[in-house]
Chains A and B, each alone.
Chain A
Amino acid sequence: MSKPVLQVKNLHKIYGKKNQNQYHALDHVSFTINEGEFVGIMGPSGAGKTTLLNVISTLDDASEGTIEIAGTNITSMKQNQLADFRSEQLGFIFQDFNLLENLTVYENIALPLSLQGVSSKKIKPNVEKVAQRLGIESILKKYPVTISGGQKQRVAAARALVHEPAMILADEPTGALDSKNAKSLMETIMDLNENHDVSIMLVTHDPLSASYCQRIMFIQDGKLYKEINRNSTREVFHQQILNVLAEFSG
């Protein structure tokens, strides 16, 4: 048994102040992700996926419950500690790329290392290593506007990986990509997970992207409602996912 990288217990999130109409975006959610796992979160729009990811990624605070990442309880941390925690332990990939368009690809990838005070001598080999892993060595000197959406998302992935975080959190990373680019990005992410032991939590509503995961949790109205594991090929898993979704909407 490998040890857990993420432990969520009884997580509850309420939007809106007391006495006003409150919205329970997460309703007492509990689950665990182990080291080296590749877990997908699926659910219809408005189900609470982004909320879950934001709370786990410490961007938003929980109303109730605890979250432990790599053995650290983040629910009791202060703002600055949270920022440091994010910059050291987490990597992010968002739907809208979130690259700094006034920095080159190289500078974008190097940023997490610079922020941790790594010397520029050590930054270079690290950036080159991840760039190679993601197949973007040739565009390191370019600015984000001059590269394609698929390349941007690879750059975002490289930036999420470069400082070797405990876990990568991805919110609809293929949401803005065409199917060909989406497929190729998912293959890369799966490779990172399988061959480089990166723990990944992926939020998506795209069944094809989700089929690259090992395990999928379905969420609806803020509650976990089903969980399935992949135990044969990706194609079979894809079909299984479609079945769950059909059952869900029916």
Chain B
Amino acid sequence: MLFKLSFSSMRKSFKDYLVLLFGLTISIAIFYMFQTLAQNKVFLESNAMISSIVFVFHVGTFILAAITIFYIFYATSFMLSMRQKEMGMYMTLGAKKYKVAQMMFFETFFIGMISLLIGIAIGIGLAEGIASLFMWQLDFSGEGFEAFYLSSIMTTVIFYVILFSLTSIVNAVKVARQSVLELLHADRKHDEVNTKGSRTIIGVFFAIALIAVGYYAMIHIDKLVQFGVILAAITITIGTYLIFISFLPYFIKKLKGIRTLNEKGLNAFTLAQLRFRVMNLTKVLGTVTMLIALGLGALTAGISFYHNIEKQSSMFQTNDVVVHQPSETDEEIIETLNITEQHEYRYKVKKDGVYFLKEDLLNNPPLIREFNPEIKEIPEPKSVATSLPAEKYAWNEDEQMKAMPEGWYTAISTELNTSFYMFGGRDIYIYDKTNFQKIDGKEQHVFTAMIEDFKEALPKLEKIDKGQQEIAASMTGEKPETTGSKYSNYVAIKGFSNGTIFMGFFLGVAFLMMMASVLMFKLLSSANADIQRYDMLRKIGVRRSVLTKSIYRELFLVFLFPAIIGLVHVLVGMQMFSFIIIEPYTKIWIPISIFILIYGIYYVMTVQMYKRIVLPKEE
């Protein structure tokens, strides 16, 4: 009989259950998505740039599991808050306590199992969708990745069945422990506000000190290495929680203390609600902040690695295109490029050497980038300024000839691409006109150019590079794997970055989806308690629009604090990558915009659902 009642009331409040189902499903889908990567060691090891990536994923699994446990408890307590009044009513009508507790267990578990089914299905779909989107974007084959991964399904099922059993028991026990009156008046609790000044000051001091240590560790990660990562993780996490425990409640209290602000319009109420949230949500806000930091961090690192490919490949070469002995097809392709600067240099090839014409070089000294291991930015191009007074110079000094000066050496080997791949073991010489003419051999030339948009020209450059491989083959008798051109460097760097970028994107999106829904749940689970407050305000004549505005403002601030702190963590945290990424902050607006978009959607969704709960429908 009770079960029939329970089903019919579940059908009635179907929309509320939809909210719950949605949240649980997201959590399960994300957990599963993460597992498809984390458990696929073959994929991880063969695609990651960072050798300890499997370790990183172990830590990730641990963090995600911990967060998920919190999350599921919040979500199911949302369910309890929805149902407890009714449960209390059944008890006043004479239902036995254990029966009602049993019913609560059954309901929680039932919802859990449904969401597990849907969640895994959506998880497989999401993993497939996001993976193929990123793989397509990155032009990355991602061999070994499988969206439908059996062992991940097993892990997810086992983990959630255990978790739902636990939360169902907890819900049942909670119902059983409370008295009928407590259940009936569950929505009328008062929240004490205790914020002692001295405690706050100590808390804030420790928070700032800990975060400062963590930031220091991240900035000096090159010296502290793995110890630094662990140190930063611990200090920043604790510091973040401390900020939410000590500083934020104090701040809101002070804000509320400003009479002119507090007594304006509905502010007294809005601020009271906000104070209540901040007091009750310290742990959630801290968790959300850390999730934002992790998610946004992974995303930013991924995108940073992505832009790094082009930078890394521009690290040494100024010229985007270098074509030896251009063929007719090469000429045609060159015609279509957006060239900003171009030159030609004549040379002759013999069995033992390549001879460049000094006058050509001096007329248009190539721009070079001087590599300096100390500097973390791309070196500025400089034209070679050293004069060449002698008639002949050689790559390697010998009795007859001087070695070519440093800058010229770089210019010829790198900018004119006379690498081993192109010319094999031949020596390189610079001869003046008179001596150049004496060499018997066909006069050749190398064409160099800088173009407007390197990435856009990639398909054309690929064709040119194929041709250059043929020429290299004719020089060395063997077709090389790479020509040493900027294009071939780009392809090589991209090859080993893509796996890392893919993981960054994938995890980043997963974490971001997760974090905002944690907040959404916690907020919605307390919404039932606010119904009366809004109803009273409506009765004394507060316009609906004013109430709506109050909700928007209050929740905006609740969403804002974790976002700001999480963002600062990420901005500092990107320093960790500065030893493998050149200029890690390039285009940081992209991940930040993605974050703001996802977060914004959650914010608006939360406001809408909250409004639906606390404000009666418009007539």
0/1 per residue, B161-201, Cβ < 8 Å to A? 00000000000000000000000000010110000000000
Query: Which residues A54-98 have CB closer than 8 A to chain B?
Result: 57, 59, 61, 79-80, 82-88, 90, 92, 94, 98
Q: State the CA gap A119–B264 with chains docked (Å).
A: 7
Q: Is A103 an interface residue (CB 8 A)?
A: yes
Q: Are A87 and B542 in contact (CB under 8 A)?
A: yes
Q: Is B442 an interface residue (CB 8 A)?
A: no
Q: Are A90 and B541 in contact (CB under 8 A)?
A: yes
Q: Are B533 and A114 in contact (CB under 8 A)?
A: no
Q: State the CA gap A120–B540 with chains docked (Å).
A: 19
Q: State the CA gap A99–B188 with chains docked (Å).
A: 11
Q: Mostly helix, strand, loop or mixed at chain A's interface?
A: helix
Query: Residue on B with the closest CB to A97?
Result: B536
Given A100-B269, A100-B533, A114-B266; A143-B190 close (CB under 8 Å) = yes
Q: Are B545 and A115 in contact (CB under 8 A)?
A: no
> Which residues of A have CB within 8 Å of B540?
86-87, 92, 111-112, 115, 159
> Which residues of A have CB within 8 Å of B275?
102
0/1 per residue, B199-239, Cβ < 8 Å to A? 00000000000000000000000000000000000000000
Chain A proximity of B72: nearest CB distance (Å): 28
Q: Is A16 an interface residue (CB 8 A)?
A: no
Q: Is B272 an interface residue (CB 8 A)?
A: yes
Chain B proximity of A193: nearest CB distance (Å): 21
Given A79-B618, A110-B263; A102-B542 close (CB under 8 Å) = no
> Which residues of A have CB within 8 Å of B11?
none
0/1 per residue, A131-157, Cβ < 8 Å to B? 000000000000111000000000000
A83 CB contact (under 8 Å) in B190, B191, B543: B543
Q: Is A101 an interface residue (CB 8 A)?
A: yes
Query: Which residues B570-590 have CB closer than 8 A to chain A?
Result: none
Q: Are A115 and B272 in contact (CB under 8 A)?
A: no
Q: State the CA gap A131–B538 with chains docked (Å).
A: 23
> Which residues of B have CB within 8 Å of A99?
536
> Which residues of B have CB within 8 Å of A114?
263-268
Q: State the CA gap A176–B536 with chains docked (Å).
A: 17
Chain B proximity of A57: nearest CB distance (Å): 8
Chain B proximity of A249: nearest CB distance (Å): 29
Q: Are B265 and A115 in contact (CB under 8 A)?
A: yes
Q: Are B273 and A83 in contact (CB under 8 A)?
A: no
Chain B proximity of A172: nearest CB distance (Å): 15
Query: Residue on A with the closest CB to B191?
Result: A102
> Which residues of A have CB within 8 Å of B541?
82-88, 90, 112, 115
Chain A proximity of B212: nearest CB distance (Å): 35
Q: State the CA gap A163–B535 with chains docked (Å).
A: 20
0/1 per residue, B257-280, Cβ < 8 Å to A? 001101111111100110110000
B259, B536, B618: most-surrounded residue (chain A CB, <10 A): B536
Q: Are A100 and B536 in contact (CB under 8 A)?
A: yes
Q: State the CA gap A203–B511 with chains docked (Å).
A: 56
Q: Is A41 an interface residue (CB 8 A)?
A: no
Q: Is B539 an interface residue (CB 8 A)?
A: yes
Q: Is A42 an interface residue (CB 8 A)?
A: no
Q: Are B544 and A83 in contact (CB under 8 A)?
A: yes
Q: Are B269 and A79 in contact (CB under 8 A)?
A: no
Q: Are B190 and A145 in contact (CB under 8 A)?
A: yes
0/1 per residue, A163-205, Cβ < 8 Å to B? 0000000000000000000000000000000000000000000
Q: State the CA gap A182–B259 with chains docked (Å).
A: 34
Q: State the CA gap A107–B275 with chains docked (Å).
A: 14
Q: State the CA gap A249–B267 with chains docked (Å).
A: 50
Query: Which residues A199-232 have CB closer than 8 A to chain B?
Result: none
Q: Is B619 an interface residue (CB 8 A)?
A: yes
Q: Are A115 and B539 in contact (CB under 8 A)?
A: no
> Which residues of B have CB within 8 Å of A82?
541
Q: Is A123 an interface residue (CB 8 A)?
A: yes
Q: Is A117 an interface residue (CB 8 A)?
A: yes
Given A100-B536, A120-B259, A120-B260; A110-B542 close (CB under 8 Å) = no
A110, A115, A117: most-surrounded residue (chain B CB, <10 A): A115
Q: Are B539 and A79 in contact (CB under 8 A)?
A: no
Q: Are B263 and A103 in contact (CB under 8 A)?
A: no
Given A114-B267, A120-B264; A102-B544 close (CB under 8 Å) = no
Query: Residue on B with the closest CB to A112?
Result: B540
Chain B proximity of A62: nearest CB distance (Å): 13
> Which residues of B have CB within 8 Å of A103?
268-269, 272
Query: Residue on A with the closest CB to B536?
Result: A98
Query: Residue on B with the closest CB to A87?
Result: B541
> Which residues of B have CB within 8 Å of A90?
541
B272 CB contact (under 8 Å) in A100, A113, A159: A100
A101 CB contact (under 8 Å) in B188, B260, B265: B188
Q: State the CA gap A84–B543 with chains docked (Å).
A: 7
Chain B proximity of A91: nearest CB distance (Å): 8
Q: State the CA gap A143–B272 with chains docked (Å).
A: 12
> Which residues of A have CB within 8 Å of B264?
114, 117, 120
Given A80-B545, A120-B259, A145-B190; A98-B539 close (CB under 8 Å) = yes
Q: State the CA gap A8–B619 with chains docked (Å).
A: 23
> Which residues of B have CB within 8 Å of A94?
539
Chain A proximity of B184: nearest CB distance (Å): 13
Q: State the CA gap A107–B257 with chains docked (Å).
A: 12
Query: Which residues B293-333 have CB closer than 8 A to chain A?
Result: none
Q: State the CA gap A98–B542 with chains docked (Å).
A: 14
> Which residues of A have CB within 8 Å of B276?
102
Q: State the CA gap A29–B619 with chains docked (Å).
A: 24
Chain B proximity of A105: nearest CB distance (Å): 12
Q: Are A59 and B543 in contact (CB under 8 A)?
A: no
> Which residues of B have CB within 8 Å of A98?
532, 536, 539
Query: Residue on B with the closest CB to A99?
Result: B536
Q: Are B263 and A79 in contact (CB under 8 A)?
A: no
Q: State the CA gap A5–B540 with chains docked (Å).
A: 19
Q: State the CA gap A117–B543 with chains docked (Å).
A: 13
Query: Which residues B490-547 have CB closer than 8 A to chain A?
Result: 532-533, 536-546
A90, A111, A112, A143: most-surrounded residue (chain B CB, <10 A): A111
Q: Pull 11 A–B residue pairs with CB atoms less than 8 Å apart, ordered by A.
A: A57-B539, A79-B619, A88-B541, A92-B539, A98-B536, A101-B190, A102-B269, A103-B268, A111-B268, A120-B259, A123-B263
In the A-B complex, list the 3 residue pairs whose CB atoms are closest, starting with the nearest: A87-B541, A86-B541, A120-B263
Interface residues in chain A, defined as those with a beta carbon under 8 Å from any beta carbon in chain B: 57, 59, 61, 79-80, 82-88, 90, 92, 94, 98-103, 107, 110-115, 117, 119-120, 123, 143-145, 159
Interface residues in chain B, defined as those with a beta carbon under 8 Å from any beta carbon in chain A: 188, 190-191, 259-260, 262-269, 272-273, 275-276, 532-533, 536-546, 618-619
Given contacts A84-B541, A86-B539, A102-B191, 15 further A-B contacts (CB under 8 A): A57-B539, A79-B619, A86-B540, A101-B188, A102-B272, A102-B276, A102-B533, A107-B268, A110-B263, A113-B263, A114-B263, A114-B267, A115-B540, A115-B546, A119-B260
